[in-house]
Amino acid sequence: MMKKINTIFPFLSWLSDYEKKDLLPDLLAGITVAVVLIPQSMSYAMIAGISPIYGLYAGAIPPIIGALWGRTSLLATGPVAMVSLLTYSAILPFVQPGTPEFIHMAIMLAFLVGICQLLMGIFRLGFIMRFVSHPVIIGFTNAAAIIIGLTQVKHLLGIDIKDSEFVLPIMIEIGETITKTNPYSVGIGAVAFLIIVAGKRIHKYFPGAMVATAATTLICYFLELSNMGVKIIGQMPEGLPEFAFPVSGLFDMSQSVSASGMPVMTITLTNLENVLRLIGPAIIISVIGFMEAFAISKAVVEKTKEQPDVNQDLIGQGASNFIGSFFMSYPVSGSFSRTAVNIQTGGRTGLTNIVSGLIVMSTLLFFTKAFYFLPKATLAVIVMSAVAGLVHPKQFLKLFKTSRNDSIVAATTFVFALITKPDYALFIGIALALLLFLWESMTPRIVVLTRDQRSEIFVNAEKTNKPVCPQILYILPDFSIYFANAEYIKEQIMQKVRDKKNGLKFVLMDMEMVNKIDTTGVDELKGLVEEMKKEGVGLALANVKTPVRELLQSSEFFKMLAIDHPVTSKSEAITLLFNRIDYKYCKEICPHTVFWECETVK
């Protein structure tokens, strides 16, 4: 019974074991995280195209929910740049940013993201994250950082440009309106930038963003820079976010009276189109947002030695978005920077995130008026300084040197993210990665092996240019055999047989890397045996794994082979085949000593 309760309310297990000695470190870490969270949350809300107050709403309830229902205790949940960008690009085609309709759709998107992540966690679908390869993330992250930076240029320069989800129109319009740059806005941004840079030199966790926020707000207030064209946050509502159903506009309820005089309540679906528009983006944000959180959680558990649980973390992130949407939050995820602060400042349990959320709530209650004169240029600089660390050109060079396919995937994702919508680029990158993997599996290598007389091990004969036995061709397929590659493998083996026709008696196929085989693969191998018999060559298998052996035995395949039973090792197979070859050919014609057995007949 208690186990079921802990499954539904996982926070009960760590709260019941909480020790007093952890309280002070958790309080200090929570306060430090909140100092970073408050300016970041307002800045990231601007990326999403909504008022900074909604960033504070997203930094209030979701961190607490994530701490209570997530598995990774120090994972800091809240607004993040990447998810904010995806939110912006998802809604922009339909509604003007900053409008009530745009804000409502952003909150509705959080609701849908929460449902998607909760369902994935409950039904243990965390394995879906594996389909988003590392090269896709590299390409997307680098492009997203550039896009995010460009969306903030208008706030830094104090110019008005048309909102767009594409990079090229933004760059063109910036070029056309750059002459209208407000020098005071650039100046206040420069001050914020210098404070942030200087803070990092003082200490890597110096609260530069908060200090820059306070300093530039005071400068703007005392110098009355708002009268000189510097755009400020302005009035923000005080108090905690109101509880509201995130899809309240979806239903229209009306009451009427029936013919018998009984009251009748009619519920009509309205505005369903907006929900349907957001389902696709919600799935994308669910996966990408959690990919970011999952990457962070892996780094956290290495330090804290917690037992990882990807599905419970999915539930935690889903609950953060789902419950947060009832309190006017837009989509959130785990934050790299704030989690790092959490760890480095000595946080020990999920209480740190609860504390940071409570501090944000206190800010909403008592201090929103203090942000009235906060320049938007400052928030833009905070965003730019945060995403600058996401641009890593060396990652592309490293991929190019190590894997041609991975570099193609990363570069393609990067380019398409810049020329199309970022979510389109993700689909393209994932599809391309899967296609390239499928192509590799369709064209596996058939490695010809021979014995290196110096090292006494078997090596790739074609790469090392070592001699092979003219009577026994020893080959190794480097992939499982299935419907997409079975015919290719058969053709490649037959080509090698024809190339070595003179004197060839047997082909020994090492199945060490063949983990699976399907019925198509078995049929093609049967066809291979028949074709080889026409050439006067027999086939034998070695190192056959249990699942493969069982299928081959049930299809009576071994009866067709030169060795009609499974052979557990290559040395045993070579010995059995060597006893059947032409020793006279070995002694009088073959100049090589490939196998150990060769020395007995030379």
Q: Which of 390, 412, 429 is the last residue of a domain?
A: 390
Q: What is the CATH number of the domain that holds 552?
A: 3.30.750.24
CA-nearest of 131, 160, 140 to 89 is 140
- The count of domains in the chain is 2
Based on the domain organization, do 382 and 449 belong to the same domain? no
CA-nearest of 161, 165, 144, 149 to 90 is 165
Which residue has 């186990």 as its token pair? Answer: 3
Based on the domain organization, do 379 and 483 belong to the same domain? no
Task: Please give the pLDDT value at position 271.
Answer: 65
Contact (Cβ atoms closer than 8 angstroms) between residue 104 and residue 394: no
Q: Which residues of 144-170 are buried (b: 16+ CB within 10 A; e: fewer)?
A: bbbbbbbbbbbbbbbbebebbbebeeb
Question: Whole-model pTM?
Answer: 0.83
CA distance 39 to 359: 13
C-alpha dihedral, 141 to 144 to 149 to 150, nearest 10°: 150
Which residue has 């053709």 as its token pair? Answer: 491
CA distance 423 to 430: 11
Based on the domain organization, do 56 and 186 belong to the same domain? yes
DSSP 506: E
Query: Is the predicted pLDDT of residue 383 greater than 60, yes or no?
Result: yes
Q: Which two tokens stand for residue 57?
A: 């709403």
Contact (Cβ atoms closer than 8 angstroms) between residue 84 and residue 152: no
What mean pLDDT value characterizes the chain?
A: 91
Contact (Cβ atoms closer than 8 angstroms) between residue 53 and residue 368: yes
pLDDT digits (tens, 9 = 90+) for 522-541: 999 999 999 999 999 999 99
pLDDT band at 119 (very low <50, low <70, confident <90, very high): very high
Task: Please give the pLDDT value at position 256.
Answer: 56
Within a domain: 563? yes
CA distance 587 to 177: 86
Task: Tell me the residue type at 258.
Answer: S
Count Cα atoms within 13 angstroms, Cβ side, for 445.
Answer: 9
Q: Which residues of 232-252 are buried (b: 16+ CB within 10 A; e: fewer)?
A: bbeebeeeebeeeebbeeeee
pLDDT digits (tens, 9 = 90+) for 267-324: 445 567 888 889 999 999 999 899 888 888 887 887 777 888 889 999 999 999 999 9
Within a domain: 193? yes
CA-nearest of 409, 97, 126 to 294 is 126
Based on the domain organization, do 386 and 448 belong to the same domain? no
pLDDT digits (tens, 9 = 90+) for 550-599: 999 999 999 999 888 888 888 999 999 999 999 999 988 888 888 888 88
Within a domain: 288? no
Task: Please give the pLDDT value at position 126.
Answer: 84
pLDDT band at 250 (very low <50, low <70, confident <90, very high): low
Query: Is the predicted pLDDT of residue 91 greater than 90, yes or no?
Result: yes
CA distance 482 to 485: 6
Within a domain: 68? yes
Based on the domain organization, do 507 and 375 belong to the same domain? no
Contact (Cβ atoms closer than 8 angstroms) between residue 586 and residue 471: yes
Within a domain: 39? yes
Task: Please give the pLDDT value at position 270.
Answer: 56
Q: Which residues contact 559 (CB under 8 A, 6 or more apart)?
A: none
Task: Please give the pLDDT value at position 267.
Answer: 47
Based on the domain organization, do 515 and 591 belong to the same domain? yes
Task: Please give the pLDDT value at position 130.
Answer: 80
CA distance 544 to 310: 34
The full 3-state SS of 213-272, as one line of letters, equals HHHHHHHHHHCCHHHHCCCECCCCCCCCCCCCCCCHHHEEEEEEECCCCCEEEEEEECCH
Within a domain: 419? no
Within a domain: 401? no
Based on the domain organization, do 337 and 448 belong to the same domain? no
Query: Is the predicted pLDDT of residue 31 greater than 60, yes or no?
Result: yes
pLDDT digits (tens, 9 = 90+) for 145-188: 999 999 999 999 999 998 887 888 999 999 999 999 999 999 99
Looking at the DSSP assignment, which residues form a beta bridge with residue 421?
none
Based on the domain organization, do 375 and 514 belong to the same domain? no
Within a domain: 5? no
Query: Is the predicted pLDDT of residue 248 greater than 70, yes or no?
Result: no
Q: Which residues contact 357 (CB under 8 A, 6 or more apart)?
A: 59, 60, 61, 62, 63, 64, 67
Based on the domain organization, do 367 and 471 belong to the same domain? no
CA distance 60 to 68: 14
Q: Provide the sign of the torsion angle of the four alpha carbons 421, 423, 426, 428, taken in this order.
A: negative
Based on the domain organization, do 89 and 26 belong to the same domain? yes
Average pLDDT over residues 204-214: 90
Q: Which residues contact 160 (CB under 8 A, 6 or more apart)?
A: 154, 177
Q: In this predicted model, which residue has the larger pLDDT, 54 or 134?
A: 54
User: The domain containing residue 78 runs over which residues?
Assistant: 21-248+323-390
* Percent of the chain residues topping a pLDDT of 70: 95
Task: Please give the pLDDT value at position 601.
Answer: 83
Based on the domain organization, do 574 and 503 belong to the same domain? yes
Based on the domain organization, do 583 and 452 belong to the same domain? yes
